[in-house]
Structure 1
């Protein structure tokens, strides 16, 4: 299960589920069509173009970086304000990716979710999807070409996903059906349940970085790069942590983010979280009425 719970309590992280989560309430009737977030991510040329753009930038980075001294995986004891990185040494090169909505589009599951109007995440439905939905997927635009080019350059492609280790065979089948290649659990496919950390990925990232020089990472959630982002309760503070300081320099320079306006911890925040109070506008037309 990939998806991280979108609802986080104001006082701290209250849940870290690893499957799709809609940050909306269930409607009273089914919608006539998919909502705008589904339309954008799964149907629009714009959403596809952003994904292709991200993968093109990743390939350009890999071509330019050569063999770096350090990987792009944060070292133990590192902080977002003062990041440090796992040394590469003579380890072979690798690129690490999340799966769901990073390399793989869960079209079958999301179609059902869109028809019911989103609403609370149903972990039982997601488990059924993991076990039976391998044929109803597609690759993220740009992913098949990018992964093929990485392998041609001698870079090992590794998936680190919150799909369950109990459904490893079905995940292997899903990514193969999407044209992403063959993967082996425990070698180049890491899943939730491989360690005792649940949906947290830093432990698995550390294991991967102990074996490989990770020169690029791709994901659709900040937690695909560091669990520390998911420990920040305030949406505004989380945005600040991602967009400022030393960590901000990693975007497009080792860390590559794919679009996902549908689910995840980024889909939260009230008006005051999203729109700064010092940037409000009084519409003169409204004031005249």
Structure 2
């Protein structure tokens, strides 16, 4: 998961009026945090957090995703696919090609944060609009695991996958320095085993937030039949190479990639932070979408 923090908030307006949604804090480990304004909230909590961490709708989507994923994997295991769902070296989003399966054992690959784990402690501490700080996140990695919760459906999902003979592998941008704490957190939540270098892949100085090389290493060992994440970078680094929001969205909708969603690639909602939360008004809303009510 790309650690670009954007706390999504909504301004509550009178009944029957619209709702204005805007990112209220932006920072990253490689840039200077920008000046912040007080976050607009609903009942004191940013709306994105209300949705992801508190709503029944978010829980329902998570349960739905995990059911769809395990059903899909069961069909793939029976069929023994020729190709995995990991893009091969040299593939593009316009012309995707995938790593061959051969006789390799099956695996499913998942991001960790906001994919199998909800970071309640870290996000609760950020409710007041605190900008993302790398040191604070690393401290949470080390000591905040007891405040995390499993994503609805994740524990049953990973157990079902293992019962099919599918290895469950975690590919996260958490730090190798805190590998033991991350392993303990995953296993405490009933999602393990998670063994660093085997079923738990972490970020290091060489890969940073890029995951393609880790995915390639996993696909060299396994026939990867499904991947799950909350950011497009959990499926391919190609989504994060200098594209505008409109270009990124178009890439996900193009026929070659559109066929992959729900059929090997499975996305969970995350309106709280990450690479999805960007775009000026004219990037989010095209010119022909403008509407003004009659007086």
Equivalent residues in 2 for 1:127-166, closer than 5 Å: 127-166=138-177
- Aligned partners of 1:198 and 1:240: how far apart in 2? 26
1:63 to 65, 68, 74: 74
Distance 1:155 1:270, change over 3 A: same
The unaligned stretches of length 5 or more in structure 2 are 7-26
Higher relative contact order (CA 8 A, sep 6+): 1
Seen in structure 2, the aligned counterparts of structure 1 residues 203 and 28 have a Cα distance that, compared at 3 Å, is closer
Please, which of 197, 204, 212 is the counterpart of residue 207 of structure 2?
197
Match of 1:100 in 2: 113
Structure 1 residue 284 corresponds to structure 2 residue 274: no
Shift of residue 261, structure 1, vs aligned partner = 0.4
Looking at structure 2, the residues matched to 203 and 152 of structure 1 have their Cα atoms a distance apart, in angstroms, of: 28
Structure 1 position 244 matched with structure 2 position 254: yes
Does the Cα contact within 8 Å between 2:85 and 2:224 map onto a contact in 1? Answer: yes
What is the match of residue 51 of structure 2? Answer: 40
**Residue pair 2:117, 2:151 contacting (<8 A) in 1 also:** yes
1:5 Cα offset (Å): 2.2
Unmatched segments (≥5 aa) in structure 1: 8-14
Structure 1 match to 2:185: 174
| Higher strand residue share | 2
Distance 1:272 1:28, change over 3 A: closer
Task: Check the 8 A contact 2:2/2:274 in 1, yes or no.
Answer: yes
Indicate the residue corresponding to 1:5 in structure 2.
4
TM-superposed CA distance for 1:196, in Å, is: 1.2
Number of residues of Structure 1 aligned to a counterpart in Structure 2: 271
Structure 1 SS opposite 2:170 = strand
TM-score normalised according to structure 2 size: 0.87
From the superposition, tell whether residues 241 and 29 of structure 1 become closer, same or farther in structure 2 (CA, over 3 Å). Answer: closer
Matched, 1:111 2:111: no
SS in 1 for 2:145: coil
Contact 1:103-1:139 at 8 Å conserved across structures: yes
